[in-house]
């Protein structure tokens, strides 16, 4: 494919923002809070997204929903991801004070979770073109840059990537992210490069490709096969936030202990000890993926009842137990 976009090139989103590079971190429910995003930015992510946030939850002033949008004052520009099915509610969310710190709003039209789907939200919108168009158009009236993340279809018999991409552009979207799997495949299997390429060929706005990108080789192949303008890392970021540095051409390993201590320091004042403990336990378990003895360490991590005991276990893992570790691929 001619004129393949360079990995690491800046990416313009509408008239309001240019990401410093085109390797993005996906919105990950339960993971992409401000402390995790800070780590991804430190390793070079061009743009991170908040966790998926309910527009209706914001309308009803749900405190747990609002906390998902917390943005540290030192954090670079970040995109807020919203989900919902009512154009007016989504526009109101875009115009709310909660969204004031965000220049870019991403609309989730790809979530495959049954509860979301049954409510006519997320990937359900792939089967409701008129309502999807109204949502994009309504949110554009907020003055924000609007992006849309969606899957290529509900199943193999209903691939709509190109048509849905054109719908988003015509309704005013400034960028789209295409997850190269259908809803019924969830996160399994090879992404459909041809469907992503069809979406890219259908529009003039930037297209970011998502699905199956774990390494620099994966990212280069994705750009080559699809013609996309950028790539988005999801599970790769959870397993190894340093993946951003590797995809962008950096080398070496990273200090997992220092990263975890940094996340504790960031999260503790905002979330309190219990939430911080639970979050850091699962992150540490992911960061040990691929290590010798990893299953043993993970079982002990997830059983730690306090931050004090968790840090003591870190001493074993990264100190006396360091000889059992290998670099995560």
Which residues are identified as catalytic? 111
Q: What angle do CA 110, 37, 200 make, to 5 degrees?
A: 40
Spatial neighbors of 194 by CB under 8 A, at least 6 apart, are: none
**CA torsion sign, 232 to 201 to 187 to 189?**
negative
User: Is residue 210 left, alpha or beta, with left meaning phi > 0 and alpha meaning psi from -120 to 50?
Assistant: beta
How many CB atoms lie under 10 A from the CB of residue 272? 10
Dihedral of the CA atoms 240, 211, 17, 227 (nearest 10)?
130
Instruction: Check: CB of residue 198 under 8 Å from CB of residue 162.
Output: yes
Gap between the Cα atoms of 315 and 309, Å rounded: 10
The structure tokens 């202990």 sit at 257
Exposure b/e, 294-327, CB count within 10 A at least 16 = b: beebbebbeebeebeebeebbeebbeebeeebee
Spatial neighbors of 115 by CB under 8 A, at least 6 apart, are: none
């Amino acid at each position: 494919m001619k004129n393949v976009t360079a990995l690491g090139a800046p990416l313009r989103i509408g008239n309001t923002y240019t990401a410093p590079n085109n390797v993005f971190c996906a919105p990950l429910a339960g993971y992409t809070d401000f402390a995790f995003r800070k780590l991804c930015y430190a390793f070079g992510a061009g743009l991170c997204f908040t966790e998926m946030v309910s527009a209706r939850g914001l309308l009803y002033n749900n405190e747990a929903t609002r906390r998902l949008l917390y943005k540290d004052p030192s954090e670079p520009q970040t995109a807020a991801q919203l989900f919902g099915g009512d154009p007016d509610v989504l526009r109101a969310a875009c115009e709310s004070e909660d969204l004031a710190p965000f220049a870019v709003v991403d609309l989730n039209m790809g979530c495959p979770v049954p509860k979301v789907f049954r409510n006519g939200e997320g990937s359900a919108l792939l089967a409701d073109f008129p309502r999807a168009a109204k949502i994009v158009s309504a949110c554009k009236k907020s003055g924000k840059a609007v992006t849309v993340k969606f899957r290529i279809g509900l199943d193999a018999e209903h691939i709509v990537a190109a048509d849905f991409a054109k719908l988003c552009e015509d309704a005013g979207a400034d960028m789209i992210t295409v997850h190269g799997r259908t809803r019924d495949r969830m996160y399994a299997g090879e992404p459909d490069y041809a469907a992503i390429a069809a979406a890219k060929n259908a529009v003039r706005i930037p297209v970011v490709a998502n699905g199956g990108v774990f390494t620099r080789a994966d990212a280069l192949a994705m750009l080559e096969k699809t013609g996309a303008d950028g790539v988005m890392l999801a599970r790769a970021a959870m397993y190894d936030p340093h993946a951003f540095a590797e995809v962008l051409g950096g080398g070496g390993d990273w200090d997992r202990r220092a990263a975890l201590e940094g996340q504790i320091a960031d999260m503790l004042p905002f979330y309190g000890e219990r939430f911080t403990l639970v979050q850091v336990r699962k992150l540490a378990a992911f960061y040990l993926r691929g290590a010798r003895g990893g299953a043993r360490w993970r079982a002990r991590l997830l059983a730690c009842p306090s931050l004090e005991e968790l840090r003591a276990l870190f001493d074993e893992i990264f100190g006396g137990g360091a000889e059992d570790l290998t670099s995560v691929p």
